[in-house]
């Protein structure tokens, strides 16, 4: 039936999306075998994206069918970073699509929307990380000609 077709919509995230976005972040953490690593509160997440001094932006992907409420199924969360070697670049923090909706082109749509944002802002590129064992993601990024570097180790220092 043509009338039951799923409609995919991309839009900028709004504050009311934050709980659904955090659910996707937790889903990603489980996939990456680090569910306990997500320690940010929903309140802090909201404030960081929509408060007085927002530090991140996001696009979300929603699906809807006639007569059903819109459902958030993907996100691309990013911010502008500065590299002393490259200048201003868009940093893609997370590209997440709910597992049930993968393989439908949603990740591609979000990635390309984010690339366009970097172009529209006249940045000189986009940077992100991918786990070395996440072969589907690596293959996806290689289709875009991404340079996947080796030799750099991530460093983190938590503050009390």
* Chain segment 86-126, per-residue pLDDT in tens: 999 999 999 999 999 999 999 999 999 999 999 999 999 99
Domain boundaries, the chain: 2-142
CATH 3.40.50.720 fits 2-142, yes or no: no
pLDDT in the model for residue 4:
65
Q: Are 129 and 148 in contact (CB under 8 A)?
A: no
Q: Are 83 and 71 in contact (CB under 8 A)?
A: no
Confidence of residue 127 (pLDDT cuts 50, 70, 90): very high
Does the structure show a pLDDT above 70 at 22? yes
Q: Which residues contact 59 (CB under 8 A, 6 or more apart)?
A: 10, 11, 12, 13, 75, 76, 110, 113, 114, 117
Does the structure show a pLDDT above 60 at 1? no
pTM above 0.85, yes or no: yes
The active-site residue out of 79, 82, 141, 144 is: 141
To the query of whether residue 141 is one of the catalytic residues in this protein, the response is yes
């Amino acid at each position: 039936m043509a009338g039951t077709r799923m409609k995919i919509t991309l839009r900028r995230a709004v504050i009311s999306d934050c709980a659904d976005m955090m659910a996707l972040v937790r889903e990603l953490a489980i996939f990456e075998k680090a569910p306990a690593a997500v320690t940010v509160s929903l309140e802090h997440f909201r404030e960081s994206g929509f408060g007085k001094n927002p530090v991140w932006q996001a696009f979300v992907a929603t699906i809807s069918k006639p007569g059903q409420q819109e459902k958030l199924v993907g996100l691309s969360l990013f911010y502008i970073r500065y590299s002393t070697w490259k200048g201003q670049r868009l940093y893609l923090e997370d590209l997440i699509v709910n597992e049930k909706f993968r393989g439908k082109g949603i990740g591609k749509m979000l990635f390309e929307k984010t690339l366009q944002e970097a172009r529209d802002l006249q940045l000189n590129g986009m940077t992100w990380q991918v786990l070395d064992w996440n072969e589907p993601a690596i293959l996806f990024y290689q289709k875009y000609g991404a340079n996947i570097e080796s030799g750099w180790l991530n460093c983190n220092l938590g503050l009390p």
